[in-house]
Amino acid sequence: MAEPKRLYDGFIPGSHTVDGYAAGGFTFAGMSHRGSILALPSGIRAWSVRDMAGLTPDSLKDVLAEPAGSIEFLLVGTGDSLQPLQKDIRSLLHAHHIRCDPMATAHAISTYNILLEEKRLVAAALIATG
């Protein structure tokens, strides 16, 4: 017997607001996900980063794989409080013409939703805590 098709396999295509954040996860597109996420122009995907130590150039490969010019701002939700981005991360994003702004995850979600509503070229890398 064939395995049933999964509705969610770590990626939901399309731009979506993030509707909620609690208990170590997020709600969006009528569903919930426990863990960190990347909200990209191509869709929302599960992200394996659990804390700022996991934020590496390799962990941003999906951000950098988006079409050139499709992301102007990357909001980085750093967890419960603001934490600075490493210099190599800032340099990497700058080399791809992406401005980045770290902030606590709850604030990053609010800012992301506003900029998305304004049709800005925005993405978010959101670290879940709790």
* pLDDT 10s digits, 74-85: 999 999 999 999
**pLDDT value of residue 3:** 47
**pLDDT value of residue 5:** 41
Instruction: Report whether 82 contacts 104 (CB < 8 A).
Output: yes
| CA dihedral (39, 40, 41, 43) positive or negative | negative
User: Which residue ranges in the chain fall short of pLDDT 50?
Assistant: 1, 3-7
Short-list 128, 84, 88, CA closest to 105? 128
**pLDDT value of residue 10:** 81
**pLDDT value of residue 130:** 73
- Domain residue extents for the chain: 11-126
Greatest Cα-to-Cα distance within the chain, rounded to the nearest angstrom:
51
Q: The pTM is what?
A: 0.92
- Strand duo 36-40 + 73-77: pairing: unpaired
**pLDDT value of residue 34:** 94
**pLDDT value of residue 8:** 57
**β-sheet with 73-77: strand ranges across:** 11-13, 43-47, 36-40, 122-126, 73-77, 99-103
Residue 10, amino acid: G
CATH code for residues 11-126: 3.40.1230.10
The size of the chain, in residues, is: 130
